[in-house]
Chain A
Amino acid sequence: MRKRPGLASMLAVYRRELLSYLTTPTAYVFVAVFLFAIGLFTFNIGGFFEARRADLTAFFAFHPWIFMVFLPAIAMRLWAEESRSGALELLLTLPAPTWALVAGKYLAAWTIAAAALALTAPLWITVNILGSPDNAAIFTAYLASLLMAGAYIAIGSAMSALTQAQIVAFVLAVLISFLLTALGLPLVLDFFSGAIGGGAAETIARFSLLHHFDAAQRGVVEFRSVFYFVSLIALCLGFTVLAVDARRGG
């Protein structure tokens, strides 16, 4: 009866979720705030013009910090809203595997993040008008940023599956995202190397999103960073599946 069990359900859930983002105003508001914030940080704090370099270092450097707040806001509704409205019962009584529901919703939120990122393209065009940047490096940094966005959304998805209240999901996701990001700050690492030694501090840094985004934003792709982001996404989505399935237990 079903040719591709799961896949068809995933695509249907993806389409519905994306449509829901596009027909409600919140996603537009969040994307607008994101674009405003990224502009503010790049030009005012990052000193884009003052640096007098045709690159996007000032732009990418702030991605982890803005994503940390923006993406949990996009992801917070994914599961919390379903259980609040009762529509979770509709989804869980469909003959679909839970992973398909989780993946469909996750990919829809990621698509919104990708669209927001794509809307920053004028900046890329601008540096090309102002000078001759290393476009391959910028492209790589964009890909890394997209992958990192996927990790933040996966964290948001997992937190959303834990609660009926979007705001709780948001706060939890920002908190975890902040911890995972800030672990890579020199300030934090200095503290750890003082307390437990440099080797241990380096190990801790390997768990930081910031650490893995650092090399990538300069245009260098490291396998272990890709591996880190992909495993973090898989881990969070696996957790989401478990949390959603746990609802069946009552």
Chain B
Amino acid sequence: MLLQVEGLRKTFGRRVAVDGIGFSLDVGEIVGFLGPNGAGKTTTMRMIAGYLEPDEGAAKIFNINVTQDRRRAQERLGYLPEGAPLYGEMTPWSFLRFIAEARGMSREAARHAVRRAAQDARLGDSITRPIDTLSKGYRRRVGFAAALLHDPMLLILDEPTDGLDPNQRQAVRDLIRKLGEERGLLISTHMLEEVEAVCTRAIVIDRGRIVADRTPQALIEEHGTLERAFAALTRGEERV
């Protein structure tokens, strides 16, 4: 099993952000993580990535507990944080070299890894221009490349297509589909059509709890469309 999440719980002050989330994910699965803003998607992903520590429960990557053996778990995970933060004054090339070397690769290995990841993420010829001067879609692909550098089996992508134009979204979806053939992916998104297009499974969460975990087709059969399923399953902040 690539990823096992058991009873994750996280509170910020008195607010319960994640309230007992559990699921597992295996090779060949592209799992869509759905839910209204503030439902706990990003907090859950951050706990799996070892950026936040859970109050209760555990995330295990290849059966390695992220809290207890954080670095070994992080070595096996590719993570694209929400908004794909980068160092704007660097070029994609030097940024990716930095990430590769900070991951412990030798200079030679880092050079190879950067070349391969840049190709996989289709970075093309802007790789030597400062990141600050690049388009949002391109910057997102740089974040993608950074997540792919060490060729991880498990990828966690927090809103990979957020803020992209339709062409860029399509490119990212193609990439996700290709990556999903021999890896496991967990993707959070607001785009329901994206789930239908690329995901093999959808996990819907609302107010920190899982309210549905099945294939997009099953959700559609049950509710007519994914939009209706989403509206029926989640209440969101609007109606709380």
Given the complex, which residues of A lie within 8 Å of B72, measured CB to CB?
Answer: 95
Contact A95-B83, Cβ < 8 Å, known A23-B89, A248-B52, A249-B53:
no
Bound-state CA distance A91–B77 (Å) is 14
With a cutoff of 8 Å between Cβ atoms, the chain B residues found around residue A20 in the complex are 87, 89-90
Contact of A94 among B52, B90, B103 (CB under 8 A): B103
Binary interface profile of B, 65-80, with partner A (CB < 8 Å = 1, else 0)?
Answer: 0000011101101010
CB-CB nearest in chain B for A104: B102
Asked whether A94 lies within 8 Å of B74 as measured between CB atoms, the reply is: yes
Name A51-104 residues within 8 Å CB distance of B: 85-87, 89-97
* Of listed A2, A16, A20, residue having the most chain B CB within 10 A: A16
Tell me whether B71 and A250 are in contact (CB under 8 A): no
Interface size on A, residues (CB 8 A): 31
Is B85 in contact with A96, judged by CB distance below 8 angstroms? no
Closest to B110 in A: A12
Is B215's beta carbon under 8 Å from chain A? no
With A11-B101, A13-B102 given, is the CB distance from A1 to B85 under 8 Å?
no
Q: Is B20 an interface position by the 8 A CB rule?
A: no
Nearest B residue to A10 via CB reads B102
B85 proximity list for chain A (CB < 8 A): 85-87, 89-90
Q: Which residues of A contact B223 (CB under 8 A)?
A: none
Tell me if A93 and B98 are in contact (CB < 8 A).
Answer: no
Query: Whole-angstrom distance between the alpha carbons of A121 and B81 in the complex?
Result: 46
**B81 with A93: CB separation less than 8 A:** yes
Give CA–CA (A95, B12) in the complex, Å: 25
**A86-B81, A250-B52 in contact; A94/B87 too (CB < 8 A)?**
no
The digit string for B84-112, where 1 denotes a CB below 8 A from any CB of A, is: 01110110001000110111111000000
Give the CA-CA distance A96 to B70 in the complex, in Å: 9
Q: Does residue A15 face the partner (Cβ distance < 8 Å to B)?
A: yes
Task: State whether the Cβ of A131 lies closer than 8 Å to any Cβ in chain B.
Answer: no
CB pair B99–A94 under 8 Å, yes or no, is yes
Answer yes or no: B46 CB below 8 A from chain A CBs.
Answer: yes
- Determine the residue in chain A with the shortest Cβ distance to B76: A95
Whether A95 pairs with B75 at a CB distance below 8 angstroms is yes
Complex contacts, A15 vs chain B, CB 8 Å: 98, 101
A24 on the B face (CB < 8 A):
yes
- A3 touching B51, Cβ below 8 Å: no
1/0 per residue, CB under 8 A from B, across A1-42: the answer is 111110011011101100110011000000000000000000
Minimum distance in angstroms from A6 CB to a CB of chain B? 9
Contacts of A96 in B (CB 8 A): 71, 102-104
A85 to B84, CA, bound (A): 10
Q: Give min CB distance, A204 to chain B, whole Å.
A: 39
Smallest CB separation, A164 vs chain B (Å): 13
Interface string of A130-142 (1 = CB under 8 A from B): 0000000000000
The 3 A-B pairs of least Cβ separation, nearest first, read A86-B85, A12-B101, A2-B104
Given A9-B101, A94-B103, 19 other A-B residues pairs in contact with their CB atoms under 8 A: A9-B102, A9-B103, A13-B102, A16-B102, A23-B89, A24-B89, A86-B83, A87-B87, A89-B46, A93-B51, A93-B81, A94-B74, A94-B99, A95-B103, A96-B104, A248-B51, A248-B52, A250-B10, A250-B52
- Could you list some 5 contacts between A and B, CB below 8 A? A4-B104, A12-B102, A90-B81, A90-B146, A93-B79
